[in-house]
Amino acid sequence: MNNITNIGDWFSWFFSAANMKDIFLYNNTEPLIFTAWFFWGFFGVVLFIYSMIHKRQGLRNAFLFLVSMFFYYKTSGLFISILLFSTLTDYFIGKAIHASALKWKKQIWVALSVTINLSVLAYFKYAYFFTDSCNALFHTDYEVFNHFAMWTNEWAGTSFKVNQILLPVGISFFTFQTISYSIDVYRGHVKPVKNILDFGFYVSFFPQLVAGPIVRAAEFIPQLYQPYRLRQYEFGLALFWILKGLTKKVIIGDYIAVNFIDRIFANPTMYTGFENLMALYGYSLQVYADFSGYTDIAIGVALLMGFTLPTNFNSPYKAKNVAEFWKRWHMSLSSWLKDYLYIPLGGNRGGSIGTWIAAVFILAFIALLAGDLLVIEIIIFASLALSVVAITVKRFREWLTTNINLLITMLLGGLWHGASWQFVIWGGLNGMGLMVYKLWRKISPYEKFNNLAVLMLKVFITFNFITFTRIWFRAENMESTWQIIDQIGNNFSPQLAGQILFSYSNVFLMMAIGFIIHWLPTRVKDWYTEAFIRLPLVVKILVSALTVFFVYQAMSSELQAFIYFQF
C-alpha cells in the first residue's frame, strides 16, 4: 500500500490475484460478521447496486438472493450447500402442499418437510452426542463420519476432514424458518412462493440469516412484492438501529466480556464468590447486548433496503415475572415455539398424543445424555410411578396435563441450544419457573399491585432468577457450573468487594451504564430515538461518524463473534 502513488497502481493492487482471493473466497479465520470493516464495504457495494435496480422487483429480489448466498458463503464456506438444499426442498414441498386437494396428503408433505429439516439439523448439531451416547451405553467405539464432507470432496475436489462434523452457522435459524413456511402454507396463512429466487431470498436474506430474528413467511413474503420506499424518517430510524446495535455489541458486550466475564468463567475457582456473582450479572448484560445488538443491526440494515424485520427484544430485564420475560426475550423464537410447538401440543388445555410423544423423546434424550443403563432404568421407573400417581390422583393429573406442555416446550428450547446436561437443566429450570409462577399468581397478594416498590421487587426477583439459570447456559462444563455455585456459596469474600470494584472500575462502570440504559422508561428511549431521527442530515452523519469512531476504538484486537452464532 505504501508504494501506491496513483489510481492505476491502486486498481492494480485491488484487483491483484491475492486481494481478489481475499475478497471472494471463504476464509475461516475472517468470517463476514457485522462488526468487520469488510461487511460494511460489502453492504456499501450492495446498496450502490441496489439503488440502481430497486424499481425492478424480480431483478431486485434475485440480486438480494445472490448477495445473501455470497454473504453466507463468506460466513460459512461450502456449508452454503446445506442452505441451498433446505431452500430447494421446502420450495417444492410448499408447492406440493398447496397443490394437494386432500388433507392427509397435505399432512404427509408437511411431515416430510419437518422430518427432512430436523434430520439435517440433528445430523450437524447432535451427531457427536448420539455417537458418544451409543459408545457409552453399548461399549462400542463408533466415530462420527461426515458424509457431506465426503460428497463435497468427491464433487468439488476439496479436502475436508471426513471424521469431523462442524456446525453450520445459523442452521437452527433458517431450519426453523423453512419449517414455519411449510406449516403456514398447510394452514393457509400464506400461499406458496411461485419463484424459486424469491423463496431463496426469503430464506437467506443476509441481515437476519445467521442469528435471526426468525421471520415468518406471512410477515415477510408480501414485502417481496411491495415497491421500495425509504422515507427520511425510516432512514433515520434505520441508522439509529445500526448505531445502537454496534454500541451494544462492541462498547458494552465485548468490553465487559473480554476484560472481566470471560476470565471468570474460564477459571471460576481462581476468583472469589463475589467476582463470580458479578460475572453472572455481567453475563446477563453481555448476552443481551450481544444478541439484541445483532438483531438491532439486522433490523437497521434491512430497513435501509426497504424491508421490515420483527422486533426481537423488548427490554427483557424489565419483566415482572418469568412469563413476561419470555414474551420480551428472543421474541421471534418464543413466539415460534408457542405457535408451532406449545399450542399444537395442546397448550394449557391439556396433554395430547403429541405431548406424550414429545415427553418420551425428551426422556430418551436425557437417558442418552446420562449414558448409563442404571440411569435409564431409574428414568423408566420414575416415569411409570408418575403416571400411576397421575391416573389415581385427579388434582395432580389436572395440574400435570395443563402444565406439561409448558415444561416440554422449555426443555426442547433448551435442547435447541445444544445437546448437553447444561442446556437441559437451563431449559428445565425456566420451565419450572413458569409453572411455579402460574401457581404463585393465583395466591400472591402482590399480583395486582403495581406501585413502584412492588414493581421493583418483582423485576428484581425475575432478573435474579433468570441470571441464576444462566450459570448452566454460560459455564464451560458441568464441573465449572458447580465450581461457580460453590464459590458464590462458600467463598464469597465480601470484605474484598471494595477492592474488586476498584480493580475493575471501568468494567463495573460500563455494566452500570448498560443496566441504567436498559431500565430507562420507554418514553425516555422513544424521546432520544425520535430526537436522533429529527436531526438534520449533516448532524446525523457527524453523530454517526463519532459513534463509529468510538465503537472501533473500543474494539478488541480480535473480532468477537456473536454469541448466538454457535446455535
Supply the DSSP string of 385-430, one letter for each residue: HHHHHHHH-HHHHHHHHHHHHHHHHHHHHHHHH-SSHHHHHHHHHH
Q: Which of the following is catalytic: 98, 139, 330, 417?
A: 417
Is 490 strand, coil or helix? helix
Task: Examine residue 501 and state whether it is found in any structural domain, yes or no.
Answer: yes
Task: Examine residue 240 and state whether it is found in any structural domain, yes or no.
Answer: yes
Of 205, 226, 247, the one marking the end of a domain is: 226
pLDDT of residue 152: 66
pLDDT of residue 320: 93
pLDDT of residue 442: 81
The Cα–Cα gap between 544 and 246 comes to 11
Same domain for 82 and 158, yes or no, is: yes
Same domain for 333 and 285, yes or no, is: no
3-state helix, strand, coil in the chain (%, to 5): 75, 0, 25
Same domain for 302 and 327, yes or no, is: no
Cα-to-chain-centroid distance, residue 100: 34
Same domain for 211 and 235, yes or no, is: no
Torsional sign, CA 282, 285, 287, 293: negative
Same domain for 148 and 279, yes or no, is: no
Enumerate residues 6+ apart whose C-beta is below 8 A from 468. 280, 429
Task: Examine residue 255 and state whether it is found in any structural domain, yes or no.
Answer: yes
| Contact call for residues 232 and 303 (beta carbons, < 8 A) | no
Report which DSSP code applies to 316: G
Residue 148 one-letter amino acid: F
The rounded radius of gyration (Å) of the Cα atoms in the chain is 25
Same domain for 274 and 175, yes or no, is: no
Same domain for 309 and 322, yes or no, is: no
Task: Examine residue 172 and state whether it is found in any structural domain, yes or no.
Answer: yes
| Average pLDDT of the residues of the chain | 85
| Contact call for residues 295 and 249 (beta carbons, < 8 A) | no
Task: Examine residue 50 and state whether it is found in any structural domain, yes or no.
Answer: no
The Cα–Cα gap between 506 and 519 comes to 20
Task: Examine residue 23 and state whether it is found in any structural domain, yes or no.
Answer: no
| Contact call for residues 175 and 118 (beta carbons, < 8 A) | yes
276: containing domain: 230-313+479-567
Active site residue 98: no
Same domain for 507 and 372, yes or no, is: no
User: Peptide bond before 222: cis, by omega within 30 degrees of 0?
Assistant: no
DSSP string, 24-81: HS--TTS---TTSHHHHHHHHHHHHHHHHHTTSHHHHHHHHHHHHHHHHHHHHGGGHH
pLDDT of residue 239: 94
Task: Examine residue 356 and state whether it is found in any structural domain, yes or no.
Answer: yes
The Cα–Cα gap between 334 and 412 comes to 12
Same domain for 200 and 260, yes or no, is: no
pLDDT of residue 558: 64
pLDDT of residue 2: 45
Same domain for 221 and 244, yes or no, is: no
The residue whose grid cell reads 439435517 is 120
Half-sphere exposure of 176 (CA within 13 A, CB side): 26
Same domain for 220 and 356, yes or no, is: no
Same domain for 339 and 254, yes or no, is: no
Other beta carbons within 10 angstroms of residue 4's beta carbon come to 13
- CA-based max dimension of the chain: 88
How many structural domains compose the chain? Answer: 3
pTM of the model: 0.87
Residue 396 one-letter amino acid: F
The Cα–Cα gap between 324 and 454 comes to 16
pLDDT of residue 20: 61
The Cα–Cα gap between 423 and 74 comes to 29
Enumerate residues 6+ apart whose C-beta is below 8 A from 285. 252, 253, 256, 511, 514, 515, 518
Task: Examine residue 262 and state whether it is found in any structural domain, yes or no.
Answer: yes
The Cα–Cα gap between 48 and 243 comes to 20
Give pLDDT < 70 ranges for the chain.
Answer: 1-22, 24, 26-29, 147-149, 152-153, 156-166, 351, 370-373, 375, 556-560, 565-567
Report which DSSP code applies to 258: I
Three cell numbers written together for 95: 408447492
| 343-358: burial string, b at 16+ Cβ within 10 Å, e else | eebbeeebbeeebeeb
Of 207, 226, 245, the one marking the end of a domain is: 226
| Contact call for residues 78 and 156 (beta carbons, < 8 A) | yes
Other beta carbons within 10 angstroms of residue 36's beta carbon come to 14
The Cα–Cα gap between 555 and 454 comes to 39
Of 385, 415, 443, the one marking the end of a domain is: 443
Cα-to-chain-centroid distance, residue 294: 9
